[in-house]
Structures are given as structure tokens and as C-alpha cells.
A and B are shown apart, each in its own frame.
Chain A
Amino acid sequence: MSANGTTASLIDYERGTIAREIFSSEKIFQEELETIFTRAWLYVGHESQIPQPGDFFMSRMGQEQVIVARDKRSKVHVFLNSCRHRGMRLCSADHGNTSLFTCPYHSWSFTTDGKLFGVPQFKNLYEGCLDRAEWSLVEVAQMEIYKGTIWATWDPNAPPLETYLGDAKLHLDMTLDCRDGREGGSEVLLGVQKWIIPCNWKIAAENFLGDSYHNPSHRSVDLIGIGPSAEYGVKGRRDNELDAAQHLWISFPQGHGVHSAQMPAETSDPETYQNNTVVAEYFREANRLRKERLGTEANRLLPFVGTLYPNTSFHGRQPRNICVWHPQGPEQTEAWRFFLVDADAPQEVKDFLRSYYMRYSGPAGMTEQDDMENWNSATAASRGVIARRYPYNYQQSLGRSTRNGPTPGNTALQMSEENARQYYRRWSDYLSGATWDTLLGMKD
């Protein structure tokens, strides 16, 4: 039961309705910060952003800034960016390399593994009063690195990341693994896009959870063609490689949801990336190797989009990126997008992808500009006194999911809002302060 005792009534999982106020209420937003963002595993960055000892990258967990740092012995840490003395932020750079984080206020300094190192006039003022060992930087309870991606949680009782990801891991894998099927091997291109969206963070997360129903909102780019073969004359915003596939909307007990696709058993690889013959050939070969490595059956599965509970989304293939929806207020989200390529891809391929990513994604991306417009408006519509008397409808394909899909998870073979229903069911459990058994869906 939440503090106000009403959270459960906001989400009706069985009927498929959700109260509008969860997208606009300040009180609920504060509860989310306290009950979700202090417990869930959150994506904070990628190892390729901090390759050397002393490298750091400024990130966020919930509303708070964290430093993701690689210490002198190359171990990665995630610290609250706040001095233990008076709280001033220790570091104002977005990234860099340092041996110490020195507070600008009273000059306490901390090593890259978080230990309190320098205290000015220690002998005179603190000898016998201050035990440095007790005043290290505030560090997350757990940190894990998975195929280059760095994750953290403030909850010492949170399950290991792989348990938390559950069967959704397969779909994250397809995003992080090399295009030719080798495990891992991705890197983040320099230039994380960060921007402010006047919307509730869950609306963005939900959009990537498997809301394929919003496809018509992208009609403008589909009409003109901006995909990797658009100059070659192909319409749409991607190559239409999933056209012949059985699309899968899969929800997971932990609240994650993905939209992936299974290609027909007998099919030739569709032609892709035709704007550039070198890039087209690179992906033709990558597809061939992937099939060889994974085997014909596993190779049929391709990623599209997904959201890992609560606020990490990914675009698995065209374009390929990880996006985090940082909550900045009930009606304000700070979006961060990390664009991925295979680290060992030829420069010409990386350059091609970079251009494509830029015209597709983010606030300057022709596709996603229209998303932001919709999220903005949906948030505003969650505010009205009268409007709030009417819940949102999440009844699409209610009761049509099956546990017997081609991959693990609760699977719909047609467009479905089951992913969202499950996501908000978990959301409600977090707000009620449920135990991890419940949060992992073991009591569903």
C-alpha cells in the first residue's frame, strides 16, 4: 500500500485502464523517485565512454547526478556527485580524466575509487574528530557491467542484474551484440544527445515498450523516405527488413517489454543499406556470419524496440541506440540517447550509421520529432480536472497473449498493449513497496 493508499486503484490490470494522474501528479512523481529509482537497476553508461583509468562520465540516476568513474586499477564505480561535507557537486564536467575529484567549496578531495583523500587543515581542525574512512563518496549499492553497458542500483537487496533482466536479456543481447552475431563488441559514439521533453517519463518509456500502434504518427517520414536505402529509392524510415516477419510483442514478469520480430524460416536476407554499396556489402556479410554463428533458427529473431523497467529503452537495429528517460518532474523528462555501433566496424560504416542515426533519432531526428509532440500533448492532457476523471484505455489485445510464443515471455502475435499493462502492474507494486519476489513477477 502506498503512502496515500490509492496507488493500486490507479492501475486496473485486469480491465486495462490507467488513471491519467499518474502522468501528471507531483505527489506520485515524488513517490516514484523514492520507490522505483532507489531500487530498480538503472543504466548509467557504457564502458567505451571510460576506457582508461581515471576516465569519468557524468550520468544520472533518477533526479540525481552520478559520476561513473574508472579508478586507478580500472575498476568502475558509480558515485553520487555530491561532496560528503556540504554537498556541493564535485565535478561539473560531462566527461574527462582525473586522479582526484576536488570539491570547489572547501576543497575536500576524493580518489577515483571514492575515498576521502584531502581535507584542508586536517591536523588542526579534524584530528581526532573525523575518520576519513567513514566519509567516502556515496556509492551505489550494486554496479554491474553487462556486454559493455554499466548498470547500478541503490538497493543492496536488488537481485543480480541478469535475474532482474530475466528473459528480456535475449532482446538486449541482440542490441548489444555485434551485427555478425559475436557477443558484445558495441561502442557508444561520442556525443550523447541530451534534451528536455515536456512530458512524463513513463510516456516515453511506454512508447518504446512495444507501442507499435503509434506507427501512423510517423507517416510524414514514411512518405518521403529517410531510411538507409532512401537515396536508392526505398520509402519508409528504415529498410523494410521486418516486412515478412512475425512480429512479437513480449512482456516479462519484471515489467520489461519488447517488440521483436521472427523472420520466416525460409527467407533470403532483404537488401539493406543500399545508399552505399560498401555499407550494403558489410551488412550482407554480417548477416551471413550471424546466421552461421547463431544457427538458422536463432538467427530468425531480430530486435526492434524495447523498454527495460523502468526507464531504459533501446532501438535494436535501425537505428541502434539506448535511451534513458530521466525523470525531472511529473511533466518534464530529460532524455539521453547513446548511439551504438560495432567497435570494430570500418569507419565508412560508422560514418554512414552516424548520419542515419542523426536524421532519424532525437530532437533533430525527423522521425522522433513527431513522437515528442505526441508525448508532450498526452502529458498535458493528463492534467485537467475533468480529464482526470476519465482513465486512459489500455485494452488493446486484452487476453490475447500466450506463454507459448517462439521465445520466452508473455507473447502476443498481434499488436498488443499487454506490455504496457504488465509494466504498470509492476509500477504499482514498486509504489506499494513490494518485496523483490513480487517485483520480479514471481507472485503473478
Chain B
Amino acid sequence: MSDVQTAPKLRHSPDYLALRGEVEEFLYDEAELLDTRDFNGWLDLLEDDIRYFMPITFNVKFGEHGAGERTRVEEDMSWFNEGKWSLTKRVEQILTGVHWAEEPLSRCTRMVTNVQVTHAEDKNGVEELSVRSRLLLYQNRCEYEQTYFPVRRYDTLRRANGALRIAERKIILEQTVLLAKNLTVFF
């Protein structure tokens, strides 16, 4: 998945708005599950082979942005490079009730915008959609603690038995030094 994807031919298709509408509804539903802390419900939206990735970003000099601005999936240290097993562990940890960084639970509001379907293809009979969106995640804890995470997301959604699920999610947070003490929330 590259950061910048070419303008979608898909957009000229008469069915595009209907498809995008369906994807938007899916992403809004996902945000609702997380905001209302239905973490297990959220896990159900993830394919078993999901790759959930948030690179570390570097300051690099002009000309090196393409190759060197971010750590690479499966190759370097990142903020997240997760599969379903460890994402499930993260949910289990919150549900222990003694995960102190989430006790009391964060109060979160997710705003999803700029949703576009950039590619659709049939992969061995399974429909896969490339989707990009922006997420503004507001997190509040205890009294005065609040953090905003504005991120770009590049997803691959897969349709199985009619329902969409997330097969791949790349999250870009535009900070070289993470300006938050923790990443206990899901993007």
C-alpha cells in the first residue's frame, strides 16, 4: 500500500456512490463499536489474517520521502505491526479491568471522513476493496487528560458472505515523536 494512490477509475462507475456509501456505513459502524467499547464486536470485523500496521515516521531530507520517511511493515520497528492474535490480546487486556492505562476506560470519539474506494477487485471469487479514510480520534481520560490523534488510514476490506471485514489496515500518524504517552486505543 503506498501513501499516495492514483485517482481511482472506479469513481466514474455509476455504482461508485452506492459502493462508497456501503463502505462509509461500515466504517461508521466500526467507529460506533469502538466508541461504545464493544471491543469484541470490533474484533469480529477483523479477518483472521488481518495486518494492522502503524509505522514510525522520520524526518528525512527532501528526495528521501518516498523510500525513507517511514518504517516498513514486517521489516522494521513500528508502533503497531499486529495480527489478529495480538489485537485480541489487547482487547483481553482491557477486559481484565486491571490494565491501568485503561482503568478507568478512556472516553473516545471517532470522526471518520474523506472516505474513498480506490480499487475493487475479485480475488479468487472474493471481493476486495482498497479504501482510504481519515480518522480524528479524540481520547479523554480521568479529568484533564486529552489527546487528539488525526490519522490517515489505508484499508483493504474483504467481502465474505456478503459482509465486509477488514483484511489490512495501515495507519499513518504524522508525528515523528509520538506526542502522546500511550497508544491504548484502536484506530
Contact = CB atoms under 8 A, between A and B. Distances in A.
Contacts of A231: 85
What 6 A-B pairs come out closest when comparing CB atoms? A191-B77, A195-B178, A369-B101, A220-B99, A364-B183, A190-B76
Contacts of A221: 93
B44 interface: no
Would you call the interface of chain A mostly helix, strand, loop, or mixed?
mixed
A385 interface: no
B98 A219 contact: yes
A242 interface: no
Task: Name the residue in A221, A226, A373 with the highest tally of chain B Cβ atoms < 10 Å from its Cβ.
Answer: A373
Would you call the interface of chain B mostly helix, strand, loop, or mixed?
loop
A366 B90 contact: yes
Contact of A354 (B55, B59, B81, B179): B81
Contact of A191 (B64, B71, B102, B184): B71
Contacts of B55: 191
Interface of A: 58, 92-96, 189-198, 217, 219-221, 223-226, 230-231, 334, 339, 351, 354-355, 357-359, 362-364, 366, 369-370, 372-374, 376
B89 A94 contact: no
Given A226-B89, A373-B100, A373-B182, A359 B56 contact: no
Contacts of B178: 193-196, 363
Contacts of B177: 194-196, 334
Contact of A96 (B64, B179, B182, B183): B64
B176 interface: yes
A192 B61 CA distance: 18
B78 interface: yes
Task: Name the residue in A96, A217, A225 with the highest tally of chain B Cβ atoms < 10 Å from its Cβ.
Answer: A96
B186 to A, nearest CB: 11
B67 to A, nearest CB: 12
Contacts of B85: 231
Contacts of A197: 181
B160 interface: no
Interface of B: 54-56, 58-61, 64, 68, 71, 74-82, 85-86, 89-90, 92-93, 96, 98-102, 176-184
Contacts of B82: 358-359
A427 to B, nearest CB: 24
B146 to A, nearest CB: 12
B92 A224 contact: yes
B58 A94 contact: yes
A191 B179 CA distance: 16
A358 B78 contact: yes
A189 B77 contact: yes
A224 B89 contact: yes
B162 to A, nearest CB: 32
A354 B77 contact: yes
A366 B93 CA distance: 8
10 contacts: A93-B58, A190-B75, A195-B178, A196-B179, A219-B96, A224-B89, A226-B89, A339-B77, A374-B100, A376-B181
Contacts of A369: 99, 101-102, 182-184
A355 B96 contact: no
